[in-house]
Amino acid sequence: MNFDKDLKDLTDIPALSGHEDKMIAYVLKKLRRTCDKIHVDKLGNITATYPGTEKDGTSIAFFAHMDEVGLMVKKIEDNGFLRLERVGGVPEKVLPSAFLDVHTLDETKSYRGVVGNTSHHLTPADKKFAVTTISELYVDLGCKSKEEVLEKGIDIGSVVTYLPNYTSLGNYVASKSLDDRMGIYALLRMAEELNQREHKADVHLIFTVQEEFNIRSSTPTFQRLQPDAAICVDISPACDTPELKGRYEMELDKGVAIMYMNFHGRGTLGGLLPNPRLNAFLERTAKEEGLKCQKEVVIGVITDDAFTQLAGTEGIPMAHLSIPLRYTHSLAEVASRQDIEDCIALMMAAACRFSRQVELARGIK
């Protein structure tokens, strides 16, 4: 794979939660080059299985989500402006004046639109420093009537996504939807290497759907597979920018992070307290491979593994690798090339080392 080309291709693909078909098709095309055991469930979750050498039924899963945050048309004004609802954690503060792609209801075509922003000269003083809420925002397509919008194939329920904008920033990359296309890229890199490197356990690569919307849509896959261990690869907010400096010890260029706790922080959505022995296995593997890694404890983040750990009749030992990311869920997220490479290296090393001899049982000192 080519780092910039393939990561650009991945971030360019529109794949709002529940509308991942273009991404599913792209991933399947890549996987079919290296794998002949592929399963797509009724929700769209993809599993590619690479048999291990020991043939004892031991398995480990690695997973990342294909979908991205975005919006959906909820109303078309008589004068042609579009009203929106958020799908996933879209920060309203980034939207005014943003260019967006508005997709036809059948998702065969898209039109460029801009989010309206009240003219500066006429903005009241009390509004100049306020965040415009989603209920106040609208998209300007350059249409003069509701009928003109409908003629384009845009209607209530049409998907709205951030504009593709992949950019190289020296040793860093910037783009929409690096969350979690970096994880998808990592899995596809693993797919290229697994047939060329010996691994004792069966390895499942799982590409999940609707993480940004309900976090639970990958659960049927884990109910079906019930692997002996699973490792999620996603992102975590980098705290090396001026406004977040020191809030958590998460920085670009310091390697992938092994997560020790995450938690949504509100209500009962929960989070993940990973299997301690699986974390120790990852720490040991990173040290022996000479890979940089960080430790992560963060409040305000939740992903698939909060619920996949509960699958089956006995639960699944779960761990989580995070690639540090600046400006999460915004129109331009920023990550380190080297952190992505370190993450892939640790995942591959873990896949090759995992076996029945890796003890994950609880209550053993």
Residues assigned a catalytic role? 211
Is 249 annotated to bind a ligand? Reply is no
DSSP state of 257: E
Do 291 and 303 contact (CB within 8 A), yes or no? no
> Can the peptide bond before residue 240 be classed as cis, meaning omega within 30 degrees of 0?
no
* 212 is known to lie in a ligand binding site: yes
User: 65 labelled as ligand-binding?
Assistant: yes
d(CA 267, CA 313) in angstroms, rounded, equals 26
How far apart CA 82 and CA 102 sit, in angstroms, is 10
Query: Token pair for residue 278?
Result: 């699986």
CB of 42 within 8 A of CB of 187?
A: no
Which residue is it, tokens 């430790």?
295
329 assigned to a ligand binding site: yes
Peptide bond into 180 cis (omega under 30): yes
Nearest-angstrom CA–CA distance, 126 and 104:
37
Helix (H) or strand (E) holding 202: strand 202-208
Q: Identify residue 269 by its one-letter amino acid code.
A: L
Numbers of helices and strands, H then E, in the chain: 8, 18
Q: From the annotation, which residues make up the binding site?
A: 65, 179, 212, 234, 329
Q: From the annotation, which residues make up the binding site for Zn(2+)?
A: 65, 179, 212, 234, 329
